[in-house]
Structure 1
Amino acid sequence: MQKRYRILRSISFAEPVGRRTLAQMLGMSERILRSETDFLKNQKLIDVKPSGMSVTNDGAALLQNMESMMREISGINETEEKLKQALGLEDVVVVQGDSDKEPWVKNELGRACAVRMKAALTGNNIIAVTGGSTMAAVADVLTPDISAKRQLLFVPARGGIGEDVANQANTICAKMAERTGGKHRVLYVPDQVSPEVYKSVVNEPSIKEVLTLIKQADIVLHGIGEAMTMAERRKTGKEEMEKIIRGHAVGEAFGYYFNEQGEIVHKVRTIGLQLEDLHRIRHVFAVAGGASKAKAIKAYMNTKPESTVLITDEGAAKQILAWR
């Protein structure tokens, strides 16, 4: 039952999807997968066409009805409780799978974040969002109903770091606003600047206005990065890179690099939200998954604000709990 549920759920995320592609996604042989998809087809849970397999309305309804039961059977509810205790959090959401091995799990992280964000919305909301592929996944699953009788303003939490345009905070905010019927503002400044440029830029009227809005955010959506990955993405200089390595940094968020104990070993001068700003924000959603992010997540959680809700996957959760 778990195997068939996993196959059906994977088809729903990747549809229309071919059998070979799906087999690679699931790490399953095509022969075994063919047998299982034939069963799902005979039960009228999926359609099989030349363009690929897709989930029927009955299949989608079954997935929704089975979700809570499958979480219980797979032990996710218990994992969430253990992770709360291990990281000192009041709220944790764990989704099935490991986003390192199954890319579609990132969509599940996005969906879980969207559900929690919707529950936190009030009448007027300023939502600050960082960049990255995980935040882009959140944008992909937002729908117009999320803004019913609410005013949403999406603002980038910080400047850009030269990553792929689709994963920059400005682009993600624009997409979130488009998909929800909300509004957005842009912050066209680099993430990392010299002291001289920083003083000049932050006093520009248009930038100052956006920075004021960012500081007024009542919801923050952010990712957690691996230290070396983020340092390389920022094209960090030799001296700073040596400092990060010497400090044994494993995680990064908002330009701060943390070692395994959660101590800050390096800070980049960034324009936008700072770590100390998070402690006065009502709802902070940290979204990161994959076993490879486990150290980074654990390190950041040592300095997280009390309002933090961690949204992660089984891959990261199991790795963190294995270190207890």
Structure 2
Amino acid sequence: MNDFPWGTLQQIAPDQVRDIVCRAMVMDHVGTTAPIGRRMLSGYLGLPEREVRAAADALRDEGLLIYQPTGMMLSPEGQAMLPQVRALCRAFSGANDLEAQLSRALGIEHVTVVPGDADASRGVLRECGRAAAQRLRQMVKGGMTVAISGGSTMYELARLMTPGPANVMVVPARGGFGTSTAIQADSVAEELARNMKATCKLCHLPDGLNAHALEEMQKLPDIAETIRLMRSADIVVHGIGRADEMSRRRGMTARQQEELAALGAQGEALGDFFDEQGAIVQSNPSVSTELRTRNPGARTLWAAAGSRKTMAILAAARHQPPHSLVIDEAAARQMIKHLT
């Protein structure tokens, strides 16, 4: 698919290529967001509604799309074709080239770029979670321990994970903070373990405990066992946050947030805040940082989405590139602009 001469085909039959691209994009987005109406889909795709209607009608006539009162959805035949359709969309969007450029520029072994912008469509965030789940399935082996953080992208990964190899242990990669219980690290770890058919050990600790408090908590047998597993995790999976958003979520005062901004903080991961060049400008008390969660030999998988997180992802990657990165197209394109 990567070597297919799309440029030549565009020169020979530009109208037909546009039709193919439009139909593939409609199938891709309907597969992600169904049921959905034409007007809303037109807004997501940035295409005139008449083009979306023509593509949808053609797909319906081919038996790949179904119209229902609640909106459009793929037929079983369309659903079966979805992996191939998404491969087409990746080729059209240039995602494969973006992956190669980011891999070379940042020294990342494996990069996956998902078409779209999660800031414009919740469905793109879901697809980033799906892609991250697929990557995790490729990485995990029987007998491994997986540590995963919280957050919206991690929640989608956990929700869309499928059963994995035997004897896998899942633990949280950090403590809890913020107000949404569904995306706390403990909740995400539990969801991931359930869908992987793995064993799970929870932490039940808030992020932000100081070293002395953490030391005291480790005297509890259940907590001590979870921390031991966190420290020896074979795979560490987490998202990347914007420094300004994460400082608010962590409950910092307005003055602390201003001081952090003055230090040039752009991104946050597992309690550490990074500036644009990747230097740690502040390390806050965290279950993961205080207890040195990461095993030096652990493999790392990051997933983050949305063009607004461009500088946050770059800052974290410049500090220490992950082994695998999953991002959306909008963030990837902005990152390339900053790198060239």
Normalising by structure 1, we get a TM-score of: 0.92
- Once the two structures are overlaid, the 10-residue window that deviates more, 190-199 or 152-161, is 190-199
| Contact kept? 1:250, 1:257, Cα under 8 Å | yes
Give the secondary-structure state (helix, strand or coil) at the position aligned to 1:104.
helix
Are 1:258 and 2:274 matched, yes or no? yes
| Contact kept? 1:158, 1:271, Cα under 8 Å | yes
Normalising by structure 2, we get a TM-score of: 0.88
| Contact kept? 2:230, 2:294, Cα under 8 Å | no
Distance in 1, Cα, partners of 2:218 & 2:329: 41
Are 1:311 and 2:326 matched, yes or no? yes
Q: 1:99 to 1:274 in 2, by over 3 A?
A: farther
- Once the two structures are overlaid, the 10-residue window that deviates more, 264-273 or 221-230, is 264-273
Q: Which amino acid aligns with 1:252?
A: E
**What are the equivalent positions in structure 2 for 1:15-94 lying under 5 Å apart?**
15-94=34-113
| Contact kept? 1:82, 1:321, Cα under 8 Å | yes
Q: How far has the Cα of 1:35 moved from its partner? A: 2.5
Distance in 1, Cα, partners of 2:287 & 2:62: 54
| Contact kept? 1:287, 1:310, Cα under 8 Å | yes
Structure 1 equivalent of residue 121 of structure 2: 102
Q: Which amino acid aligns with 1:271?
A: V
Distance in 2, Cα, partners of 1:279 & 1:158: 14
Alignment RMSD (CA, Å): 2.0
Give deviations 1:294-321, integer Å, cap 9, x for gaps: 101111111225x521111111111011
Give the secondary-structure state (helix, strand or coil) at the position aligned to 1:170.
helix
Q: 1:164 to 1:266 in 2, by over 3 A?
A: same
Q: Which amino acid aligns with 2:153?
A: T
| Contact kept? 1:243, 1:266, Cα under 8 Å | no
* 1:126 maps to which of 140, 145, 158: 145
* 2:283 maps to which of 263, 267, 277: 267
Distance in 1, Cα, partners of 2:255 & 2:92: 50
- Once the two structures are overlaid, the 10-residue window that deviates more, 18-27 or 6-15, is 18-27
| Contact kept? 1:98, 1:316, Cα under 8 Å | yes
In structure 2, stretches of 5+ residues that fail to align are 1-19
| Contact kept? 1:254, 1:274, Cα under 8 Å | no
Give the secondary-structure state (helix, strand or coil) at the position aligned to 2:324.
strand
Give the secondary-structure state (helix, strand or coil) at the position aligned to 1:154.
strand
Q: How far has the Cα of 1:251 moved from its partner? A: 0.3
Are 1:155 and 2:155 matched, yes or no? no
Structure 2 equivalent of residue 215 of structure 1: 231
Distance in 2, Cα, partners of 1:179 & 1:198: 30
Structure 2 equivalent of residue 172 of structure 1: 188
Are 1:246 and 2:262 matched, yes or no? yes
Q: 1:158 to 1:124 in 2, by over 3 A?
A: same
Q: Which amino acid aligns with 2:77?
A: D
Distance in 1, Cα, partners of 2:228 & 2:278: 28
Q: Which amino acid aligns with 1:320?
A: M
Structure 1 equivalent of residue 22 of structure 2: 3
Distance in 2, Cα, partners of 1:263 & 1:169: 25
Distance in 1, Cα, partners of 2:291 & 2:44: 37
Distance in 2, Cα, partners of 1:192 & 1:274: 9
Q: 1:274 to 1:218 in 2, by over 3 A?
A: farther
In structure 1, stretches of 5+ residues that fail to align are none
Identity of aligned residues (%): 34
Give the secondary-structure state (helix, strand or coil) at the position aligned to 1:250.
strand
The number of residue pairs the alignment matches comes to 320
Distance in 2, Cα, partners of 1:31 & 1:22: 11
